[in-house]
Amino acid sequence: MQPTTVTTALPGPTAERLRLSLLVIATAQLMLVLDDAIANIALPSIQRDLDVSASALPWVITAYVLTFGGLLLFGGRAGDVFGRRRVFQLGVGVFTVASLLNGLAPDDTVLLVSRGLQGIGAALAAPNALALITTNFPSGESRNKAMAVYGAMSGLGITGGVLLGGLLTGLDWRWIFLINIPIGIAVLLGSRNLAEGERHTGRLDPVSALTGTGGVLALAYGISRGGEHGWTEAVTLGVFAAAIVLLTWFVVLQKRSADPVLPLRLLRDRNRSGSYVAMLFIGAGLMGTGFLLALYLQQVLHFSAVKTGFAFLPFSAGIIVSQGVSPKLVAKLAPRLVAAPGLLLAAAAMFWLSLLGADSSYLAHVLPAVLLTAFGLGLAFVPLTVTILQGVPGGETGVASALFNTSQQIGAALGVAVFGSIANAATDVQMPAAAEALTRGVATDDPGLAAQASEALAHGYTVALLAAAVMLVVAALVVATAVDARRPQQIDTDQPDATAPTTAREEAATLSQPTARVQ
């Protein structure tokens, strides 16, 4: 049975209404991107203030990224069924309330639960923010300009996030969450101006959303717990077993459903599947590098939060520069001839970072390696984005794009869990509870203890960075062997699916950010 379509009457798109609509949508995108970039900088301050253990600290990032990525497809589908503006408003409201709870969190338990709630809000808001562009802006120059502004918010959010994160953390880490409250309220007030557009009646599948997200959550927790308590510990094995059951159940549900959250037929093409797998690794590399370097700069090199924010600017610069280069290469070369070398370059730079020590120079060692890592990872985005869109039926372009983002976000969550576990295990070999010892050494003016703790932490972070380098080599091999598509032509996506961008170039440009939300 085909779903019916309910169309609401739309007012004429006056210039004033279009400007306000773009301001609302772009501001919402900026808020979501800022929240990814801003949190890494505050991790050491959060750890000290709330006495968060080293094993729990990665979950400040993972709880948000995992729920966000795991529910993206569900959020997009909810917008189709209940109305994109309505679900967008719900998502922004949930995100804003969760930001308040984060800012007032009295302990790490409340913080982690609230971060997960933030991820749910983002998953509802993000896919529908982009869909509302096609609902509110007529096809042609107006929509193209809106898409360009939307994509620019990703770059601005990444760059501004690390700076704002440093400045706000310098005042109090709680402000990195509380700043979302006035922004969220302003977006909600302005969203009344947005046109609802088409709404399709159909059936949501919350069981699929719960089993899929629950399975990945269990997998990430199993990795984190295994690194702390051992891989053969009973609870660890039980969590892994639950992950297998839930993920298997999710696949079975998708096979049987007439309207699946994840159409499995999209994975039958080797180019598309290879690109999705590669994006898991890229997401892990992007978020994992940010997580480890934020801790290294502040705990080992003793950078302030503000200085750390400025130190991360080259990472954003590397991504932005690669955006200008990659589309030109993709126009002339097969996708794997651009993506695979980019991943190998990032792997080499990551290996360089794995040679860091407690007394390494930022300018001579960290800065060039960070630039090359970001450039290499960014270089792979556009060719993989174009590859996942090739051969996709027009009505499924939005789903294929959303799955691409889901792969990136889940990869980011798993990457933080894996690298955090590796770093903690390697650190504990040299000095258990090194982060606590460092804080104690600084507080008691014990330079010997502080130096020993810094050495142990640096060892743990560099071992994790070496693992990340190996992972990116594997990603390059996946691209080189599985992605055999030829030089792509421009893909026409001018069809009724409101979640799809107008052209493959726009899709690639919008996705070419480590935290872009394109559904």
Residue that has been written with the tokens 């049975």 in this structure: 1
Which residues have C-beta within 8 Å of that of residue 147, sequence separation ≥ 6? 133, 501, 502, 506, 509, 510
Q: What is the CATH number of domain 12-205?
A: 1.20.1250.20
Categorize the per-residue pLDDT at 198 as very low, low, confident or very high, splitting at 50, 70 and 90: low
pLDDT at residue 289 is higher than 60 = yes
Q: Rounded mean pLDDT of 267-290?
A: 85
486 by Cβ neighbours in 10 Å (0-12 / 13-18 / 19+) ranks as exposed
> SS3 sequence, 177-217?
HHCHHHHHHHHHHHHHHCCCCEEECCCCCHHHHHHHHHHHH
User: Is the separation of the CB atoms in 271 and 484 below 8 Å?
Assistant: yes
Categorize the per-residue pLDDT at 90 as very low, low, confident or very high, splitting at 50, 70 and 90: very high
Q: Which CATH class name applies to 263-488?
A: mainly alpha
**Helix axes 180-190 and 15-50, enclosed angle (nearest 10):** 160
pLDDT at residue 71 is higher than 90 = no
Is there a common fold for 12-205 and 263-488? yes
User: Is the separation of the CB atoms in 282 and 275 below 8 Å?
Assistant: no
pTM of the model: 0.77
pLDDT at residue 519 is higher than 60 = no
User: pLDDT digits over 17-48, tens only?
Assistant: 788 888 888 888 888 877 766 788 888 899 98
Q: How far is CA 426 from the centre of its chain?
A: 26
Q: How far apart are CA 486 and CA 387, in angstroms?
A: 9
Task: Flag the least confident range among 53-62, 135-144, 214-223.
Answer: 135-144
Write down the pLDDT at residue 8.
44
User: Is the separation of the CB atoms in 439 and 298 below 8 Å?
Assistant: no
Categorize the per-residue pLDDT at 489 as very low, low, confident or very high, splitting at 50, 70 and 90: very low
Give me the residue spans of the domains in the chain.
Answer: 12-205, 206-258, 263-488
Which residues have C-beta within 8 Å of that of residue 286, sequence separation ≥ 6? 377, 408, 412, 415, 514
User: pLDDT digits over 423-445, tens only?
Assistant: 988 998 889 888 888 888 887 88
Instruction: Tell me what the pLDDT averaged over the chain comes to.
Output: 80
User: pLDDT digits over 313-366, tens only?
Assistant: 888 788 778 877 887 888 788 888 999 999 999 999 999 999 998 889 999 999
Q: How far is CA 312 from the centre of its chain?
A: 17
